[in-house]
Amino acid sequence: MSITVRYQGTYTIKPETATWGGQLPLSELDQIGTITHVPIIYFYKLPLEWLHPADAIFNILRGSLSRVLVPFYPLAGRLKRLDRGRLRLDCNAMGVWLIEAESEGTLNDLGDFCPSQEFEQIVPSVDYTTPIHELPLLLVQVTKFKCGGLALSTTISHAVADGPSATHFMNEWARLARGEPLSVEPYYDRKLLWVGEDPSGVLLPPPNLEHSEFNHPPLLIGHTKNLEQRMKKTAMALLKLTKTQVESLKKAANKERACNNPRPYTRYETMAAHIWRCACKARKHKPEQPTVLCICVDARSRLQPPLKPGYFGNATFDVVAAGTSGELVSSPLRCTSSKIREVIEAVTYEHVKSTIEHIRRQPDLTMFQDLHALGSTQGLFYGNPNLGVVSWLTMPVYGLDFGWGREIHMGPGNHDFDGDCLVLPSSDEAGGLVVAVGLQIEHMEDFKKFFYEDIVE
């Protein structure tokens, strides 16, 4: 059933008190990857005492958003595009957008909350024809439903915050709304990620490692461009796995594991391998088809010393595992898991430094940026025959309580680019998982089939 949303107003929310103003340098890791906005959505069933007066919840969110923008002041600023694809952040307190809306529909009309066309009305729309120096870095939409339900959706510029930083902000916002103090203060010192130089002020040496993750991903055999694949219609699915199914996959991945690899494969290594193999089968690749899996790694704990909790910005970047579809499909699951582990374990402190310096020396960063959301046919594209699998397994994405209880569902907004996958912990069962996957429509049903059939319990 379709729903209709009526927009009641859009408000510019600025920090409650004066904040630091000026230009905040962006690190090299802020400048690459997905530099557009990333949507997240929370759904709530409100207790009866919160249903009246109708504007009470909106006022709480509005006031607490203004307060949380004081410590998180970069979100109230604006980006400025420089030459050669580079960006700068101006902390000018121009504010964020808060949208108020209501619907005659009910939460039941949204079914299992899998992102669909209906989500376009309840997730803030970002108009990228707006000059970038005018575009908010954070947009929030509050949609009230006839049943007493509520949707709280945010979309945050990935040039300013990665997943851990975005969830840090959301959880601190909820704490302030409940009348509690901040748990972890954010800090913004980009020198810790060597913006142009290392902490001692000495230029870093040229990178001595290969960085294949910055090469354009493989194309389908017989193709010289990926334009046709970029333009194909896509869909998104939320696929749930029970704890038993997850354990069955891990058992299969760890069966006859090499004696020189005694540590069992993790949930992520197992699930990413399973998703990669299923995608190859669903896409009906030729056996010799080259394919890569894009893996997002967090540099926070890999630095020396590690970044302390509260760093707000991007400290994640991508690495890739490579193979051929025939090799992946015909080999045991442990072989694909091994490929993934090998790439992740190669991300050492030296690798992080080399990656940052590699980016810094590029004459133009546009080719390293995912501009698909902007309608661009340039930049990196991890659709067919490739894909990316991002883990949200260690992020505190659940239990976001603004004072009226935790959410009944949390998930990505319309995140349906071909090959775009997220792995989340289940909110229903400890040990269970949810996989949010975006694929071309023609491949989705086969993917679902293989996804469940290939789990031997």
Q: Are residues 427 and 357 in the same domain?
A: yes
> What is the structure's pLDDT at 258?
59
Q: Are residues 184 and 307 in the same domain?
A: no
204 occurs within a structural domain: no
Mean per-residue pLDDT, 410-417: 82
Q: Are residues 404 and 265 in the same domain?
A: yes
Q: Are residues 267 and 334 in the same domain?
A: yes
> What is the structure's pLDDT at 261?
64
The C-alpha angle 51, 53, 54, rounded to 5 degrees, equals: 65
At 253, list the tokens: 């991945």
208 occurs within a structural domain: no
Query: Based on the structure, what is the number of domains in the chain?
Result: 2
- Which of 124, 158, 193 finishes a domain? 193
Structure-model confidence comparison of residues 457 and 314, the more confident one: 314
- Which of 160, 193, 226 finishes a domain? 193
- The confidence band for 376, taking pLDDT boundaries of 50, 70 and 90, is low
- The residue range of the domain holding 98 is 5-193
Tell me, what amino acid is at 177?
A
Q: Are residues 187 and 219 in the same domain?
A: no
229 occurs within a structural domain: yes
Most confident stretch, 112-116, 378-382, 385-389, 412-416: 385-389
Structure-model confidence comparison of residues 203 and 165, the more confident one: 165
- The confidence band for 120, taking pLDDT boundaries of 50, 70 and 90, is confident
Mean per-residue pLDDT, 117-130: 88
203 occurs within a structural domain: no
The dihedral built from the CA positions of residue 403, 76, 134 and 39, taken in this order, carries a sign that is negative
* Residue from 158, 168, 358, 415 carrying the catalytic annotation: 158
Q: Are residues 269 and 415 in the same domain?
A: yes
Q: Are residues 136 and 233 in the same domain?
A: no
**CATH number, domain containing residue 379:** 3.30.559.10
Q: pLDDT at residue 202 above 60?
A: no
Structure-model confidence comparison of residues 266 and 118, the more confident one: 266
Other beta carbons within 10 Å of 127: 7
Q: pLDDT at residue 264 above 80?
A: yes
| CA dist., res. 175 & res. 179, Å (int) | 6
401 is catalytic: yes
- Which of 162, 193, 224 finishes a domain? 193
Q: pLDDT at residue 423 above 90?
A: yes
Structure-model confidence comparison of residues 271 and 263, the more confident one: 271
Q: Are residues 303 and 160 in the same domain?
A: no
Q: Are residues 51 and 131 in the same domain?
A: yes
- The confidence band for 111, taking pLDDT boundaries of 50, 70 and 90, is confident
Structure-model confidence comparison of residues 359 and 312, the more confident one: 312
Q: pLDDT at residue 375 above 60?
A: no
Mean per-residue pLDDT, 344-370: 87
Q: pLDDT at residue 228 above 80?
A: yes
Q: pLDDT at residue 194 above 80?
A: no
Q: pLDDT at residue 326 above 60?
A: yes
Q: Are residues 217 and 189 in the same domain?
A: no
170 occurs within a structural domain: yes
Q: pLDDT at residue 57 above 90?
A: yes
201 occurs within a structural domain: no
66 occurs within a structural domain: yes
* Listed residue (76, 71, 35) closest to 310, CA to CA: 71
364 is catalytic: no
Q: pLDDT at residue 197 above 60?
A: no
- The confidence band for 199, taking pLDDT boundaries of 50, 70 and 90, is very low
198 occurs within a structural domain: no
Q: Are residues 175 and 219 in the same domain?
A: no
Please give, one letter per residue, the 3-state secondary structure of the chain: CCCCEEEEEEEEECCCCCCCCEEECCCHHHCCEECCEEEEEEEEECCHHHCCCCCHHHHHHHHHHHHHCCCCHHHHCEEEECHHHCEEEEECCCCEEEEEEEECCCHHHHCCCCCCCCHHHHCCCCCCCCCHHHCCCEEEEEEEECCCEEEEEEEEECCCCCHHHHHHHHHHHHHHHCCCCCCCCCECCHHHHCCCCCCCCCCCCCCCCCCHHHCCCCCCCCCCCCHHHHHCCEEEEEEEECHHHHHHHHHHHHCCCCCCCCCCCCHHHHHHHHHHHHHHHHCCCCCCCEEEEEEEEECCCCCCCCCCCCECCCCEEEEEEEEEHHHHHHCCHHHHHHHHHHHHHCCCHHHHHHHHHHHHCCCCCHHHEECHHHCCCCECCCCCCCEEEEECCCCCCCCCCCCCCCCCEEEECCCCCCCEEEEEECCCCCCCEEEEEEEEHHHHHHHHHHHHHCCCC
* Average pLDDT score, the chain: 90
| CA dist., res. 30 & res. 190, Å (int) | 10
Mean per-residue pLDDT, 217-235: 91
Q: Are residues 162 and 76 in the same domain?
A: yes
Structure-model confidence comparison of residues 417 and 262, the more confident one: 417
* Residue from 109, 189, 401, 446 carrying the catalytic annotation: 401
Q: pLDDT tens, 275-317?
A: 999 999 999 999 999 999 999 999 999 998 899 999 999 999 9
